[in-house]
Structures are given as C-alpha cells and as structure tokens.
A and B are shown apart, each in its own frame.
Chain A
Amino acid sequence: GEDVEQSLFLSVREGDSSVINCTYTDSSSTYLYWYKQEPGAGLQLLTYIFSNMDMKQDQRLTVLLNKKDKHLSLRIADTQTGDSAIYFCAERKEGSQGNLIFGKGTKLSVKP
C-alpha cells in the first residue's frame, strides 16, 4: 500500500476551520511536512514537524502529530478563499538521504 495516505478532497466555507488528515506507515520517519500547491505552480513548504514533537503552531496553521497512530493533521484556522489549493503531506524516513515520500494530495475548496 501507499506509504502516505490522504483523503483526496475537502470542502469548507470561508471563515471555518479546515482539518486535513494524513497517515503514514514508517515509524522511523524523522520529519513530516505539509506543502501547498496552487494550480500550475510548484510546492510551497508550509510547515514541518520533527517526529519527537506532538504539536506545532504557526499563525493560522496548527500541526498535530500522533506518533502512536502514525497520524498527522493540518488545521487551518479562519480559512480564506486564497487557501484553496492542493495540500501534500510528506514524510522523510530516517536514513533516506533527504528523500521525501509524498501523499497524493488533498484538494481544499473554500466556498465564499
């Protein structure tokens, strides 16, 4: 199966919170990432969390890591139409020489 799994779609109303979930399978992962991709563009690093942490907050973004369940989530507070994009979860495995394993991405649609 896939190393990193995400639901493919999420739709929210402007001003609500968005929660994008991700599961991974390798308990030796060192870092876990969230990237944002707007149409036709490259990937923008939003945030990352080291595997010995369980939470990281950066302005409207909150990352929660449940290492026991291998579950990562990204919460976007006060979601705006500009947040509409595809969000990729990625893991870096220990000893992987920096290579990232990506999920298929979650397409977030924000309705006015």
Chain B
Amino acid sequence: DGGITQSPKYLFRKEGQNVTLSCEQNLNHDAMYWYRQDPGQGLRLIYYSQIVNDFQKGDIAEGYSVSREKKESFPLTVTSAQKNPTAFYLCASSWAQGAAEAFFGQGTRLTVV
C-alpha cells in the first residue's frame, strides 16, 4: 500500500539529547514537509524539501535539522537547542511544487522528560 510512514508513534527524550524522527513515503512524491502541532493550535511548518539534496527552512526551523539524501526519506532531528520540543510532529508529502494534494503521516508524539 502506498503511503507515508512515521516512526515511532511515541518518543520520549531526556533534556539535552538530540532525537531523530523518521518519515518514509512510497508515493514517489518529490516534495516532503515537516509540521509541528501544539494543543489547540494549527500546524506550523518546520522544514520542507522540494527535491533530493535540497531543503528549506519553514516558519519555525530553529532547533531542528533535516536531511534529504533519498527521495523516500526525510528525517527530522530535534536538537537540544530546541527550547520546547514536546509536541506532535507531522510529516507530509506531495507531488512537485504546486501540486494540489498533500498527504500526511500518522504523526509522532515527542515528549521531553
């Protein structure tokens, strides 16, 4: 089945540690995105990538890093520099720039303990 897979579903991190969230898609989409969702808030864009080996900062990139070495994969690293990392993280993908439909994964809930 085609789709977007995020793992793990739940993740716990100690303060001061980096952690990497996985996002894989087999839809052959060029574009991939990472959003952050906080309770009662809409989604805010962290990073996006339109093509392999290229990515751009979104609205709240500070404290995060990404890589796009393969078309199928767009991992997000939450670094220790991120002041308030506890949130629900959503990955999405779409065809190339301007495509109408964007599809989302099931999300990863990150909790800093």
Contacts and interface: CB of A to CB of B under 8 A. Distances in A.
Interface of A: 4, 8, 30-31, 33, 35, 40-45, 48, 50, 88, 90, 97-100, 102-105
Contacts of A104: 40-42
Contacts of B104: 35, 42-45
Contacts, number: 64
A98 B94 CA distance: 8
B21 to A, nearest CB: 13
B101 A99 contact: no
Q: Taking chain B's interface residues, is the majority helix, strand, or loop, or is none over half, making it mixed?
A: strand
Interface residues of B, number: 31
B90 interface: yes
Given A50-B100, A98-B50, 12 more contacts: A35-B104, A40-B107, A41-B107, A42-B90, A42-B104, A43-B92, A43-B104, A45-B102, A45-B104, A48-B100, A97-B56, A103-B42
B43 A102 contact: yes
B43 A88 contact: yes
Contacts of A42: 4, 6, 90, 104-107
Given A97-B50, A98-B31, A98-B102, A88 B42 contact: yes
Interface in B17-52: 31, 33, 35, 40-45, 48, 50
B101 A98 contact: no
29 contacts: A30-B98, A31-B100, A33-B102, A41-B107, A42-B104, A42-B106, A42-B107, A43-B43, A43-B90, A43-B92, A43-B104, A45-B101, A45-B102, A48-B100, A50-B100, A97-B97, A98-B31, A98-B48, A98-B50, A98-B94, A98-B97, A98-B98, A99-B45, A99-B48, A100-B102, A102-B42, A104-B40, A104-B42, A105-B40
B99 to A, nearest CB: 7
A42 B41 CA distance: 14
Residue from A4, A31, A98 whose CB has the most chain B CB atoms within 10 Å? A98
Interface in B57-113: 58, 90, 92, 94, 96-107, 109
